[in-house]
Amino acid sequence: MTSSLRREPRQARSRAMVERIVDAARAVLAAEGYDAFSTNRVAAAAGVSPGSLYQYFPDKTALVDVLARQWVDRMSDDVAGALLAHVDAEAPDLLRSAATALLDAVERDPLMLRIVWLELPGARNVAARDALERRVRDVLTTYLRLRHPATAERADRLAWVLVLTAQQLTVRFVLDPDPPLTREQLVDELVAVSAGVLGVPGVPD
Amino acid sequence: MTSSLRREPRQARSRAMVERIVDAARAVLAAEGYDAFSTNRVAAAAGVSPGSLYQYFPDKTALVDVLARQWVDRMSDDVAGALLAHVDAEAPDLLRSAATALLDAVERDPLMLRIVWLELPGARNVAARDALERRVRDVLTTYLRLRHPATAERADRLAWVLVLTAQQLTVRFVLDPDPPLTREQLVDELVAVSAGVLGVPGVPD
Amino acid sequence: MTSSLRREPRQARSRAMVERIVDAARAVLAAEGYDAFSTNRVAAAAGVSPGSLYQYFPDKTALVDVLARQWVDRMSDDVAGALLAHVDAEAPDLLRSAATALLDAVERDPLMLRIVWLELPGARNVAARDALERRVRDVLTTYLRLRHPATAERADRLAWVLVLTAQQLTVRFVLDPDPPLTREQLVDELVAVSAGVLGVPGVPD
Amino acid sequence: MTSSLRREPRQARSRAMVERIVDAARAVLAAEGYDAFSTNRVAAAAGVSPGSLYQYFPDKTALVDVLARQWVDRMSDDVAGALLAHVDAEAPDLLRSAATALLDAVERDPLMLRIVWLELPGARNVAARDALERRVRDVLTTYLRLRHPATAERADRLAWVLVLTAQQLTVRFVLDPDPPLTREQLVDELVAVSAGVLGVPGVPD
DNA sequence: AATGAATGAGGCTTCATTCAT
DNA sequence: AATGAATGAAGCCTCATTCAT
């Protein structure tokens, strides 16, 4: 009786627990790598008992998946949003704005980027990464079909090429300890690549 | 004479063991993923005792490293060789030849490609992959300085961009179960990207 | 009330586990020697899983150390207590009482005596044995300085000699399968040795 | 034919091998302790193949036994010889000479002393140590019966006491890193103990 | 819902020993 | 006699997971 009054509503408690666990998982991965990422270790870091972890995650892999999915979802929203925001601009500006926005998104959480890209076992997170790529590609394909009818027939291929290229260059720019170009130069190169492939003028000269 | 026929000399036996183990390691990784990659599992797959594995590899990680290193070394040779082989060609042909050669190299051993790219723990093999990238970038940088003096000052950046892009597109083309372009189309796009970035005519039109 | 009957509280459970493990460790050592003293063997003998052992002991050596330390501590208390209890007696009685008390202490747990003296790897338990000797020597040195001022200047040496001698004779008396003297005769000899070294009359004749 | 001439006679070769192995075993024990004492390690240290070791020792334990036995035999000879050499002397001199000779013997090979006393698993070498004690006790008992008829009836007990005491004190004097008495003082105490127990004047006063 | 003691399969590695040469 | 590659049982220990409370 009395004790039931002291408690937080169920939802809130669960949410708190899940968050503590997920945060701890991130922290452990970031600080000690995937080798130290044991359920016991995470539970300890979360100040929670190992058993509790299994009330919210059926599996160790489920926890990993949530981590990846969370990151992918936010990244996905960021990137898609950025693209949509600039969809009206004219070509040269568009490319530059889009490139900048993409880089912003990738730079937003370098810690998780490193975790998802380097720490998590690749095979298990291809699915999550694929979802991200697919979504962005769809947006881009649509855009290309509408605004660059000239490239319509190869819109699919172009989207695939552009998304993979932009992803690779931005991710590596953030992860590499000492990339051989500045942020601005990277944007320039991204624009150049896109413009070249699209057959539009990259830089207003 | 006669005795040499009874058994292989010592060297050959060791080589045979190492090969059996490395082959088994590859097979286990390919068939069951890194999670099943235990020393006992590998030894069993090699038809060898667990102890024998440790006569040739100090560590489980040493075995992984050999796997990665082997692949990286061959890939490295293939790619660098391919670039050097076409270094005299004129621009449009050069790009097309180089792109084709690169794709050939990447396609040569899809099994190991998948293993190195998706199965092995990222953090542990960044070093190996970096070595590969670095080597190819050096070749490319040199080439650009000599043959494209116009781009000399940004040769470093260009090489970084081109290597990462070409790597990403070819690797993904091979690994993705259903890429949205054909081999020829990929080559076309690679040429287009490179030409665009380099400011040379990509396709003779 | 009712719930407390169902199970022991947490503390008691842990204590029970530790005790089961330590008892099993003793049993294994006594029955099968240090060679059979493996963590798995001990766990099995304790009716406990190998993992449980590591919830209470960080190491195999920690278990060994606890065993040695337990015995040394009790022995230490017994012997020091015995000496202090007789510190007021007059010389001849004192020696006899002390010798008897010492022998009592050594005889108290012949099983552990055998384990600590013969089964445990010497090098690893010298520290524990040393602590015991040191403590007894300190008591004895103090006693000698106060009650045998004549020997004050060589109190250190005498204590070293007497402690080592008494230890050796009592321990060997207990451990040797067929010692050539009776318990009473051993006490007599201990008194004789001590009296001789101290320069006091040993047996009132 | 020709090759048989190049060879050393069989005996000599075996002896050389056995010696190399035993020496290596000693070295390994002295330098790295019993934990590092593996047959492979010893073979390597001896510059010999693991297989060869098994041509001369059926077992790992056999090697350990030889080590212990060798030491015990020499020690045995030394001590017994020393006692016999002084058997004619008169009491006070005798005790002093014997004590000195015993100490000489124990000090002769401190490395092996440490190995036998602290490194080797106790239980396995009790036999060897017992043999040593028994032999010395026999000599001493005989001496006591002949020269100290007064103590004849307790000669057995006395020999047991004296041998164990002298052994303990001398061994510990050599092994302890910082014993609280000098060599001369130890001899004095040994004489005092013996004299006290025997009921003879220890120091000519 | 939360706990945390307990589990036990299994991972990595060592090492005494064998045996074909 | 000597070799040394090969063995494989077994040792220590971890960790994902369960379950009684």
- Whether residues D141 and D43 share a domain: the answer is no
Band (pLDDT 50/70/90 cuts) for residue C201 is low
Q: Same domain, yes or no, for D94 and D41?
A: no
Q: Do chains B and C touch (3 or more CB pairs under 8 A)?
A: no
**pLDDT(A5) > 70:** no
Tell whether A3 and A42 lie within a shared domain: yes
Q: What confidence score (pLDDT) does residue C195 get?
A: 87
Confidence of residue A122 (pLDDT cuts 50, 70, 90): confident
Contacting B with CB below 8 Å, chain A residues are 33-34, 117-123, 126, 154, 156-158, 160-161, 164-165, 167-169, 172, 179-181, 185, 189, 192-193, 195-197, 202
pLDDT digits (tens, 9 = 90+) for B47-94: 999 999 999 999 999 999 999 999 999 999 999 888 888 877 766 688
Q: Are C123 and D154 within 8 A, CB to CB?
A: no
Q: How far is it, in rounded angstroms, from Cα C163 to Cα C194?
A: 10
pLDDT digits (tens, 9 = 90+) for C52-95: 999 999 999 999 999 999 999 999 999 988 888 887 777 668 88
Tell me whether residue D204 is in a domain: no
Contact D82, D104 (CB under 8 A): yes
B26 and B91 share one domain: no
Please report whether residue D205 resides in a domain: no
Residues from D contacting C (CB-CB < 8 Å) are 33-34, 117-123, 126, 154, 156-158, 160-161, 164-165, 167-169, 172, 179-181, 185, 189, 192-193, 195-197, 202
Residue C48 CB lies within 7 Å of the nucleic strand F: no
Per-residue model confidence (pLDDT) at position D11 = 54
| Residue B2 counted as domain residue | yes
CA distance C27 to chain D (A): 16
pLDDT of residue B11: 44
Mean confidence (pLDDT) of chain A:
89
Query: Do A116 and A56 meet the contact criterion of CB atoms below 8 Å apart?
Result: no
Tokens for B98? 């180089």
Q: Which residues of D touch C167 (CB under 8 A)?
A: 168
Same domain as B169, residue B124: yes
**Is the torsion defined by CA of C91, C92, C97, C103 positive or negative?**
positive
Subunits in contact with chain B (3 or more CB pairs closer than 8 Å): A
> Considering the domain boundaries, does residue D120 fall inside one?
yes
D49 shares its domain with D79:
no
Identify the helix (H) or strand (E) that includes residue A200.
none
Give residue C9's pLDDT: 42
Q: What is the DSSP letter of C9?
A: -
B204 domain-assigned? no
Residue C6: what pLDDT?
39
Domain assignment present for residue B205? The answer is no
Choosing from C33, C57, C81, the residue where a domain stops is C57
Q: What is the pLDDT of residue A156?
A: 93
Smallest CA–CA distance from A185 into chain B, residue = B157
Is A12 near strand E, with its CB below 7 A from some atom of it? no
CA dist list (Å): C13 to A157, B141, C1, C148, D133: 66, 69, 18, 51, 48
**Which window residues (116-135, chain A) lie with Cβ within 7 Å of strand E?**
none
Distance between CA atoms of residues A36 and A75, nearest Å: 26
Per-residue pLDDT tens over the stretch D57-104: 999 999 999 999 999 999 999 998 888 888 777 766 888 988 999 999
CA B159 to each of CA A152, A196, B134, B149, D171: distance values in angstroms, whole numbers, following the listed order: 30, 16, 10, 14, 75
- Which residues touch B65 (CB under 8 Å, ≥6 apart)? B124, B128
Average pLDDT over residues D131-141: 93
Distance from CA of D192 to the nearest CA of C (A): 6
Please, are residues C99 and C191 in contact by the beta-carbon 8 Å criterion? Answer: yes
Q: Place A2 in a pLDDT band, splitting at 50, 70 and 90.
A: very low
What's the whole-number mean pLDDT along residues C156-180?
96
In angstroms, rounded to a whole number, what is the distance separating the alpha carbons of residues B167 and B157?
15
Q: Which domain CATH number covers D116? A: 1.10.357.10
**D6 Cβ partners below 8 Å, 6+ apart?**
none
For nucleotide F14, the protein residue with its alpha carbon nearest to C1' is C51
Residue D3 clears pLDDT 60, i.e. is over it: no
Number of domains in chain A: 2
D118 & D172 share domain: yes
User: Where among A36, A57, A78 does a domain terminate?
Assistant: A57
Chains C and A touch (3+ CB pairs under 8 A): no
Residues D184 and D138 in one domain: yes
**A47 — pLDDT class (breaks 50, 70, 90):** very high
Q: Which of C200, C192, C183 is nearest to C143 (CA)?
A: C200
Average pLDDT score over residue span D135-151: 90
Whether residue A86 is found in the same domain as residue A9: no
Domain that holds residue B171: 64-198
Strand F contact nucleotides, protein CB < 7 Å: 1-21
Decide: CB of C38 under 7 A of nucleic strand E. Answer: no
Contacts of B196 in chain A (CB under 8 A): 192-193, 195-197, 202
Domain boundary residue among B57, B72, B103? B57
**Residue-level pLDDT at A93:** 79
Nearest neighbour of B196 by CB, restricted to A123, A167, A195: A195
Cβ pair B193, B167 in contact under 8 A: no
Cα dist from B21 to B9, B46, B111, B198, whole Å: 19, 5, 17, 45
Same-domain pairing of D49 and D122: no
Residue D27 belongs to some domain of the structure: yes
**Is the pLDDT assigned to residue C158 strictly greater than 80?**
yes
- Say if residue D22's pLDDT is above 60: yes
Which pLDDT tens digit goes with each residue over C121-134? 888 788 889 999 99
The reply to whether D125 and D159 lie within a common domain is yes
Of the given ranges (A186-195, B32-41, B56-65, D90-99), which has the lowest mean pLDDT?
D90-99
Give the pLDDT confidence score for residue D165 in this predicted structure: 97
How far apart are alpha carbons A25 and A38 in whole angstroms?
A: 9
Whether residues C43 and C86 share a domain: the answer is no
Report CB contact under 8 Å: C179, D160: yes
Give the CA count within 13 Å in the CB-facing half-sphere of A29: 24
Cα–Cα separations (whole angstroms), residue A44 to A19, A52, A60, A62, C125? 14, 11, 15, 18, 34
**Higher-confidence position of C203 and A74:** A74
Instruction: Let me know the angle formed at the C-alpha of D197 by D194 and D199, rounded to the nearest 5 degrees.
Output: 100
Share of chain C above pLDDT 90, in %: 68
Which segment of A74-83, C10-19, C115-124 scores lowest on mean pLDDT?
A: C10-19
Contacting residues 51-80/C vs strand F (CB within 7 A): 51, 54, 59-60
Q: How confident is the model at residue A91 (pLDDT cuts 50, 70, 90)?
A: low
- pLDDT, residue D91, reads 64
Mean pLDDT is lowest, of A8-22, A34-48, B126-140, D89-103, for A8-22
Q: Is residue D72 part of a domain?
A: yes
How large is the average pLDDT for residues A50-79?
95
Residue B201 has pLDDT above 80, yes or no: no
**Are A189 and B119 a contacting pair at CB < 8 A?**
no
The nucleotide whose C1' lies nearest the CA of C54 is F13
pLDDT value of residue D199: 78
What value does the mean pLDDT of chain B take?
A: 88
> pLDDT by residue (tens digit) across A66-78?
999 999 999 999 9
> How far from chain centre, in Å, is Cα D164?
13
Q: Which of C161, C167, C181 sits opposite D157 (nearest CB)?
A: C181
**Test the D interface: residue of C28, C129, C161 with most D CBs within 10 Å:** C161
What does the pLDDT read at residue C2? 42
Judge: B33–A123 Cβ closer than 8 Å, yes or no. yes
pLDDT the model gives residue B149: 86
List the one residue out of A108, A22, A13 whose CA is nearest residue A65: A22
d(CA B11, CA B14): 5
| Sequence-separated contacts (24+) of C24-28 with Cβ below 8 Å | C24/C48, C25/C63, C25/C64, C25/C67, C26/C67, C26/C111, C26/C112, C26/C115
- Nearest CB to C196 within list D33, D34, D197: D197
% of chain A residues with pLDDT over 70: 89
Nearest CA in chain B to A165: B165
Q: Which nucleotides of E are covered by protein (CB under 7 A)?
A: 1-21
Task: Tell if the CB–CB gap between B189 and A197 is shorter than 8 Å.
Answer: yes
How high is the pLDDT of residue C4?
Answer: 40
CA of C61 to C1' of E8 (A): 22
Domain CATH for B29: 1.10.10.60
